[in-house]
Structure 1
């Protein structure tokens, strides 16, 4: 190993020591050990150190083809100690600010999505539902008026029909009574369906 390679290895491992300090503080900040179960902390710790070891070995492989020397561990320790003494306080403040900024940015985009996408869709759906309710009420009003007009128009026929009914033979009366009961059942089904639709719409509006 040449002197240049050794110097590059020392500088790279010092940098990796600083990186290890940054990664460890970031990991502890997001892990929240006091709020986690012990087995989760144990598994995460193992995975963390495996990943960090692979990163350090990859850098070492890139710098000096993966040759291990005792001074490499000293360089890592020196880099970690330099980070702890010089940069840790600054980095933790920057990390907290980045977390605060990311949280505020996320809340901003959530509110933006709510006011630009969700609220307009809700408003359009409510307008469509209100239009459907208005059309339904107009249809019911029209049917009531039509029913009243038909009732007034057919009043003479009803009077004539009652006279015919009285003089009609009994078998014919029974046959017509069955037809009337069948039609009454259909009308009741339509009314029940209308009431169910009205109940569903009232619940949805609440």
Structure 2
């Protein structure tokens, strides 16, 4: 490996160390409060560091075919601390501004969804429900007198045929043709 490739690898690993520090700041800022309990945070931390290791080894593979030397550790640590001492305060302020903008955009999208999709669907549902209630009441108003008249006219015939026995027969016949689940299980 030439000296030129080693210098390129060293600076690439310094940048990788700085990127790890940046991603660590973003991760710590965006970690949900629910995940700050013991086990979820441990799992998320493990996943974070596995991803960081994979990214570092990918950069190392691209730069010098994965040749691993001691100075690579030093470059990563140096890049981490250079970021930490110089750019971090500015980046944290910028990150807060970005998160506020993203939160504001998210709230606007939710309001648009609420105003243009949810409210019209609810209004349509309530309108259709009221329309069906009105139609039902109209049918009741129209047909209730006819049903009462029909009952009045058929009452003598019902009593003459022995109405209670006919109703009991029809119920028994109905149960035999369409048994309930419980009765099917017993048979």
TM-score by length of 1: 0.67
- Distance between the aligned counterparts of 1:20 and 1:129, measured in 2? 57
Match of 1:85 in 2: 85
Correspondences of 1:58-73 after superposition (within 5 Å)? 58-73=58-73
Task: Judge conservation of contact 1:33–1:41 (CA < 8 Å) in 2.
Answer: no
Deviations 1:129-165 (A, max 9, x none): 11111111222222355578x59xx9xxx8xxxxxx8
Deviates more, 1:28-37 or 1:109-118: 28-37
Q: CA deviation at 1:182?
A: 6.7
Do residues 21 (structure 1) and 5 (structure 2) align? no
Q: CA deviation at 1:33?
A: 7.7
Q: CA deviation at 1:78?
A: 1.8
Match of 1:117 in 2: 117
Match of 1:170 in 2: none
Query: Measured at CA, do residues 78 and 179 of structure 1 come closer, stay the same or move farther in structure 2, by a change above 3 Å?
Result: same
Match of 2:7 in 1: 7
Corresponding residue to 2:160 among 176, 187, 206? 176
- Distance between the aligned counterparts of 2:32 and 2:115, measured in 1? 33
CA-based RMSD: 3.1
Where structure 1 has 5 or more consecutive residues not aligned to the other structure, the ranges are: 159-164, 166-172, 184-206
Deviations 1:94-117 (A, max 9, x none): 222222222222222222112211
Q: Give the total of aligned pairs.
A: 164
- Distance between the aligned counterparts of 1:6 and 1:72, measured in 2? 9
- Distance between the aligned counterparts of 1:35 and 1:60, measured in 2? 32
> 4+ residue runs of structure 1 moved beyond 3 angstroms?
32-35, 144-148, 179-183
Deviates more, 1:138-147 or 1:111-120: 138-147
- Distance between the aligned counterparts of 2:158 and 2:30, measured in 1? 83
Where structure 2 has 5 or more consecutive residues not aligned to the other structure, the ranges are: 168-187
Correspondences of 1:96-107 after superposition (within 5 Å)? 96-107=96-107
Correspondences of 1:184-195 after superposition (within 5 Å)? none
- Distance between the aligned counterparts of 1:18 and 1:128, measured in 2? 60
Task: Judge conservation of contact 2:17–2:77 (CA < 8 Å) in 1.
Answer: yes
TM-score by length of 2: 0.73
